[in-house]
Amino acid sequence: MENLKYLDNLNKFQKEAVLCISGPLLIVAGAGSGKTKVLTSRIAHILKENKAFPNQILSVTFTNKAAREMQNRVNKILNNKEIGLPWLGTFHSICAKILRRHAKAANLNQNFTIIDQDDQVRLIKSICNVENIDIKKISPNFIISLINKWKNFGWYPDDVILKKAENLEKNLLKIYKIYQTKLTNLNACDFGDLILHCVSIFEKNIDINEMYSKNFKYILVDEYQDTNFIQSKWLKLLTKNHDNICCVGDDDQSIYSWRGAEIKNFLEFDKVYKNTKIVRLEENYRSTQNILNVASELISKNENRLGKELISNQNQGELVNLNCFKNGKDEATSVSKIIEGQISKKYRLNNVAILVRAIYQTREFEERFLKIGLPYRIIGGVKFYERAEIKDCIAYLRIVYQNKDDLAFERIVNVPKRSIGDTSFKMISENAKKNSFSLENSSKNLIELNKIKPKAKIGLINFLNLLEKWRSDHFNEKIDHVKLLQIILDESGYSQLLKNKKDLENENRLENIKELLNAMKEFDNLGSFLEHVSLATSIDNDWDGEKVNLMTMHASKGLEFDAVFLPGWEEGLFPHQKSIDEKGQHGLEEERRLAYVGITRAKHDVYISFSLNRFYQGDWIDSISSRFIDELPEKYIKKINNYEKEEEEFFEFNQDLENEEDVYRSPGWLRYQKRLK
């Protein structure tokens, strides 16, 4: 058994998953249970036992990073750096390899081009231009997302079936048809085509399908809960001759339905593949038992799951902290104090994370961290004041406040589009340099001299007139800086531009702008706010050394930290109202899975928190704590009532409890007090 030493480091169930190499196998791998270790050991075992050659093993991942790690681990187990796994890679990379070999079957040449997102946008824009479709009303990104959705369902244009009510989609189906024809004419395909074309080739060419299904004696799939319809269909076509398919994943971590992931692929695996063996990996090597108890109790409320019970190989650990705060600002302040206090004494800042439901939530934490000099990084996103839409808004405010701010003028003179192209702007810039004008004064000068092209001239005049109006609104009519930005966004067409482009990216941008308006409320005037922004953005953002990690819960999947903060657990925010409105019970269950992912990122310390009041879209609202908080097991929770502490310090208790102005009678406050009893 000398050659089976790699099995010694596996627990009972990991070993069972590795040794079971005949027939379909579903590995239900809980968070931190060592699924990568199992997958790589399984590949090594197949090779060690001479069950297959390296080119007869198909191993599919979702990222190139995961593929590289698997290759390295297999080589390490086998003590052989020379062993290559030619069919180890992502769905897209493997399908691209197959498609290169059989390009003619998809009406392509072997040297076809794979276009990226930018190429897609340009192609869609050109089609919309010819078809007289206004891209200001229908975003190219929205069209692309719809096309991707159809391709994930396995639909070419002629396969799409629409309901009578779907008028918008009917119009966009025409674009899809033109788009697909253009791709063929260009000898190109997008990422969605890579899998779609492969499935089509397999279905129409039995001989090609047979060749690959016979070759792949073993198929292994990582993160199976994240697969979509067309990916699962592709896998099924490859198991015609051998049913040795092993899929690994965690149904409790299926959080990407918005990207097309189908959790039913995982839940119904044993229905698709007969005689499936299911192995559960329930020993957790990451988190303490208290953390796992909280996460397990919460996720048990989901109906659509296979079920498992996570057991930690560590000690019981600290109780999970549940904090109640007066508002979002207090929440950010308290979190920073905890990090600077007990957390920084125990762990490196690199091993501390704040996980939010929506990216705009990072703003209050960023403001606080900048104020106290606590270094941080945004994972999977851009810092708040560096986001394009925020910089646009700030530029508008700067040029209204100070008409010589050329950098601000340059940024927004043609945002939204005003027909002021590069040629016109070059003329304005050269004239400004020649005559020592500001860009604004240079524009006025060229208009007077009638040197600007008619279309650009109209756009420039309208823009300059708006600037004068906004300055008058603010300085003469005494409109405050918050109202000023709202007027600017409305009258410039900027808000409408974002509202018309119906995709997730623009929804996030609108949320960020709403959060900017919230931030502006904290300052007395426009000058003090702009000074704050300048100071905030001038700080060296590339601190060396340790940094606290800020990210969304979605971005945290696959990561782990010593301490995790989970703020903003309030109804409407988390679970997110949009998710429930659009998907009902399925949406709620996915939100709960997201909570599960967030909690299980932590090794030792978890801090969950909510606020009783939040400033949102210009108004203070009474928040209600998330229903997920009600589902947390009392036994493993330490409740900290920060709000009550403040009340004891600053307020008397003999207040009239019937007073409607008493903020301590908010729904969230009453609900929390009831829970404390």
Positions marked active-site: 35-36, 222-223, 253, 601
Q: Which tokens go with 271? A: 């229905």
Helix (H, G, I), strand (E, B) or coil at 479: coil
Complete DSSP assignment for 384-445: GGGSHHHHHHHHHHHHHH-TT-HHHHHHHTTSS--S--HHHHHHHHHHHHHHT--HHHHHHH
d(C-alpha 282, C-alpha 285), whole Å: 10
Tell me which residue of 569, 39, 534 sits closest to 298, measured CA to CA: 569
d(C-alpha 377, C-alpha 548), whole Å: 6
Query: Do 318 and 290 contact (CB within 8 A), yes or no?
Result: yes
d(C-alpha 12, C-alpha 8), whole Å: 10
Q: What Rg value do the Cα atoms of the chain yield, rounded?
A: 29
Q: How many helices (H) and strands (E) does the chain have?
A: 30, 18
User: Helical H runs in 225-359?
Assistant: 229-237, 263-267, 269-272, 289-299, 328-338, 344-346
Which whole-number Å values give the CA distances from 262 to 152, 505, 618, in the listed order? 10, 22, 38
Residues paired with 312 in a beta bridge: 284
Tell me which residue of 559, 7, 17 sits closest to 281, measured CA to CA: 17
Query: Do 130 and 138 contact (CB within 8 A), yes or no?
Result: no
Q: Which amino acid is at 553?
A: M
Q: Which tokens go with 42? A: 């399984």
Query: Do 279 and 247 contact (CB within 8 A), yes or no?
Result: no
Angle at 663 between CA 659 and CA 666, to 5 degrees: 100
Strands 320-327 and 602-616: parallel
| Tokens 């524009």 belong to residue | 443
Query: Do 613 and 623 contact (CB within 8 A), yes or no?
Result: yes
Q: Burial letters for 170-205: b for 16+ Cβ neighbours within 10 Å, e otherwise? A: eebbebbebbbeebeeeebbbbbbbbbbbbebbeee
Strands 88-90 and 113-114: unpaired
Query: Do 550 and 384 contact (CB within 8 A), yes or no?
Result: no
Tell me which residue of 563, 642, 9 sits closest to 326, measured CA to CA: 642
d(C-alpha 598, C-alpha 369), whole Å: 22
Strands 277-281 and 25-29: parallel
3-state secondary structure 155-220: CCHHHCCCCCCCHHHHHHHHHHHHHHHHHHHCCEECHHHHHHHHHHHHHHCHHHHHHHHHHCCEEE
User: Helical H runs in 30-137?
Assistant: 35-48, 64-78, 91-101, 117-130
